[in-house]
Chains A and B, each alone.
Chain A
């Protein structure tokens, strides 16, 4: 007979539709799949002896990807719903870990953030490299820098070389005048704070690419001018 073959064709088609529709919001996806399922059932019932059977019905429906694309265009062109600006959960966790993971759980927290960063499909190679190298440790870096400077400062801003006493006191490993040390310290701290923050902002912006960009707005439907 071929009934089971037809059923297989239908379930394959619906599976393709589900996959293609994963880019849509959950309730719209469910609705669309339901509508198409019902359509196929009605079409089969309306014409049980149709030559070509289910295959004709599916051909007339068109490719699942096209159907989903039509829905995507709608989401972009509809005046009521703004561009889906979704920052995925993966991306949010990655960004948080990159920024403060190193502070909460030194090294490991940040390292996990790096792993998630590279796992995400939303960032290009350049962004991923940026996220990893600027700076390693996220906001842990300024703390490290600050600690390093504080330790060094004890030695350099400490006992000053005294040249006025007759015997000539030996300086203790001072190479930089205090003002230079402080200036460099400030620069280092600012850079190590600004770096991760700037990287974070950039990663957030990049991850916010709308999901359904098809670039077909010039061929979009004419409904929008007439809708109130």
Chain B
């Protein structure tokens, strides 16, 4: 290291530790600015807190016994509907559908309502057909289906709704749904109608022609299933048919 000039050294010794008083208000100014910084740094925490609150609320909605379940999920003695995935037999899967439905509701309820109003006549036709087609499907590989939906380049919300409809619409439930198409009275029903429409869009998007609704005969259902599985794009649904009885 280069030797320091003696004058500099002496001055340094004298001055380096010199202290000058500062205005008493300076700390207040710094503290104020620090406070603003702190506030800014809370924003991510606030966002996380809001997200956490939403999840908790969502959990309460999902598991609360006081939430009225959509009648479409409930097997009713009057109608004698046999549901392959009923709440009694497989409550978990039904809960998933409910979860997706609620999530979708929070995300985009108004958009869905507008969409439903706009395309009422289209809905009447396509939903009937697709609901009929879907009743023979059974989810076996959810991940594979999600990937296939992604390939179909549908928006995420459509995918969710589609999945909701896919989980929900089964033999009997679809019939129930079709019955209620004329007068959708609850959001759950509207949502499922929209879901079926979304499924319909998936098919149409892949160039599949939706055949007219079949009669409830075993042969026709089998024939329909074969048509569907042949026409489906590769990878779209890993579903395997529940053979019509």
Whether chain B is bound by chain A comes out as no
